Homo-oligomer: A and B are copies of this chain.
Amino acid sequence: MTHRTIPDIVIGRLPQYLRSLQRMENENRLITSSQELAERLGISAAQIRKDLSLFGEFGKQGTGYDIHFLIEKLRAILKVDRVWDIVVVGAGDIGSALARYQGFTNRGFRVTMLFDKDPSKIGMKIGNFIVQDIQFLSQAVEQAGIKIGMIAVPSAEAQAVANQLIKGGVRAILNYAPISINVPPYVRVQYIDPVIHLQRMTYYLD
């Protein structure tokens, strides 16, 4: 079972399964089915069974999935059975929202550093963080061994920030700037761009 054997599109669905299962666990549920997951997620039950079967035998025919067991398996597969430190670059609205975001807890992540280039922001406290000077970004990231960065700077600055992050050893970037960034093949990038999601829905509106 190497990376090559599992399509990235399948990997992209696993976090959605995990989120639904964790919600069920919070509701004190013990067992679920591919049908129930399908209804919650809008993905077919057959697809869900097929995706999960790529990683082993997680459910028994007729008895469904043990929610806790499947959560533990998915956390291990996605490597979020640990806590990853994250650096946030950009202390504007979005960066501040990320620095204060409650949704990382128990899901494998925590923000540990916040950077900006604006002298009026450097030294300010946002959430639990003192905004640090972006000129020390690569070196701070490297010293802390941080592998994940979130970019929340204006589009024109996103590529330069990505370069600094990668120089410091970051290998996964979540980019909030509405612009594509170029990275070497050993770095992964995901984008948060609300317009991409909105445009996908307007197609269906009258």
Contacts and interface: CB of A to CB of B under 8 A. Distances in A.
B180 A20 contact: yes
A193 B107 CA distance: 11
Contact of A202 (B84, B96, B197, B201): B84
Interface string A10-22: 0110111011100
A86 to B, nearest CB: 8
A109 B205 contact: no
B190 A104 contact: no
B197 A194 contact: no
Interface residues of A, number: 58
Contacts of A109: 195, 198
B23 A180 contact: yes
B198 A108 contact: yes
Nearest to A74: B199
Given A97-B94, A205-B79, A205-B172, A11 B200 contact: yes
Contact of A108 (B23, B193, B195): B195
Contacts of A202: 78-80, 84, 108, 148, 172
Nearest to A180: B40
A51 B40 CA distance: 28
Nearest to A75: B199
A84 B197 CA distance: 13
A38 interface: no
Interface of A: 3, 8, 11-12, 14-16, 18-20, 23, 40-41, 77-80, 84, 86, 92-94, 96-98, 100-101, 103-104, 107-109, 147-148, 150, 171-172, 174, 178-180, 188, 190-205
28 contacts: A3-B203, A8-B200, A11-B203, A14-B203, A15-B195, A15-B199, A15-B200, A16-B196, A77-B203, A79-B203, A80-B199, A80-B202, A84-B205, A98-B194, A103-B194, A107-B195, A107-B199, A148-B205, A150-B194, A172-B198, A172-B205, A174-B194, A174-B198, A190-B197, A190-B198, A190-B200, A192-B192, A192-B197
